[in-house]
A and B are shown apart, each in its own frame.
Chain A
Amino acid sequence: MKPHLTQDVLIQYQFDLLEEAQRNEAATHLEECSQCRKALEKLKQRFLSLDVLDNEEVLSDQLVQKTIASIHQSKEPELNRRRLWVKWGAIAAGIVLATAIVFIGQDQWQEQSRQVLNTTQMPDDKSLTAPEKDDAHFSNSSRPDMNSPAEPNF
């Protein structure tokens, strides 16, 4: 028979701390060795004393209520902080939007005024040349033809 199991191995066996092969080996030994079985039983009894603390502490309803109240209390500043962020965020977004509108508006206004300028300048240019034509045409057409027989000759 193999040597008896040490207390360390018994503890590891009892609390599932051994590798599978070691565990099987210890289990086989325990089946055959009453002395080790007794030692294991003694160890189990000793650790059973830990159970005196089971269900020793009861969570009071008072603590639950206190916890809920403290959560709600801390939620308020958090909500206020969020509201503040939303408020400042909205203000910032408004400013950005207004600035964008101003810039875009300015651009468009400049563009429009440029177009207006162009359109108002265009007839002037034409007026510099076209009237010549017109004048020429007019003058040609209205200028009395001295040679025309229709014209009364005073």
Chain B
Amino acid sequence: MEHNDRILIEAHCNGSADAFETIIRRHGPAVYGYLVKMVKDTHKADDLFQETFQKAYEKIGDFRGVDLKPWIHAIAANAALTGFRKEKRKHMVSLNSDTSCPDGKHCFDIDNVVLADQKEPSEILEMEEKRRNVRQALMKLPDQQRTTLILSYYQKLTYKQIAEILNCSIGTVKTNMFRALKRLAVLLPESSGGQI
């Protein structure tokens, strides 16, 4: 995987038009998953996704490593956290507000879900309720704790990789992770686990 990343980067630097698209298709889903969990709506996630790969495109020539995953996640994390800081400065965001979104993509869309999952409407409703609770719980975490938890739990990155991504020590990462988990132990719905 990493080896293929290196080949793709070299192909891209040598002028291959498709190499970067392959990189987006390979790492895009994980990056998008991270961004959607980090922000409240998909519009913002879409913008940050584009920003992330735009920056990756500009800087990929300087990349000397072999594994693109942490590197691209670092760009995404930086974009997301910078976005939060800007929004906070504008006093436009309340992390404790409801996670309803204007575009409806992140909200419950029964038609799409029925087609995708072939489940009973009641199951879908129940699942959506659980998702909403978990999203709300995640959004109640401070930005640094949330990003640490998402990178570790969902993106399966090591604490060392997260420390490199967030430019901090492993100790800080572990502290943030512990605080996030401690908070989630209270915020997460008790009965939802194990039934999904």
Contact = CB atoms under 8 A, between A and B. Distances in A.
Contact of B184 (A12, A50, A53, A58): A50
Interface in B143-196: 152-154, 174, 177-178, 181-182, 184-185, 188-190, 192-194, 196
B131 to A, nearest CB: 5
Interface residues of B, number: 42
A11 interface: yes
Contacts of B42: 57
A68 interface: yes
B181 A47 contact: yes
A7 interface: yes
Interface in B1-51: 20-21, 24-25, 28-29, 32-33, 36-37, 42, 45-46, 49-50
Chain B interface main SS type: helix
Contacts of A58: 29
Nearest to A18: B174
Nearest to A51: B196
A145 interface: no
A46 B134 CA distance: 11
Interface in A39-82: 43-59, 63-64, 66-68, 70-71, 74-75
A68 B135 CA distance: 29
B196 A67 contact: no
Contacts of B45: 57
Chain A interface main SS type: helix
B69 interface: no
Contacts of A44: 193
A100 interface: no
B82 interface: no
Contact of B196 (A11, A17, A48, A68): A48
Contacts of B193: 44-49
Given A52-B196, A57-B36, A70 B178 contact: no
B130 interface: yes
A63 B32 contact: yes
Contacts of A12: 178
Contacts of A54: 154
A70 B54 contact: yes
Given A59-B32, A67-B53, 9 more contacts: A7-B182, A11-B185, A47-B185, A49-B196, A50-B154, A54-B154, A55-B33, A63-B46, A68-B24
7 contacts: A15-B181, A47-B181, A47-B184, A52-B127, A56-B36, A57-B45, A71-B20
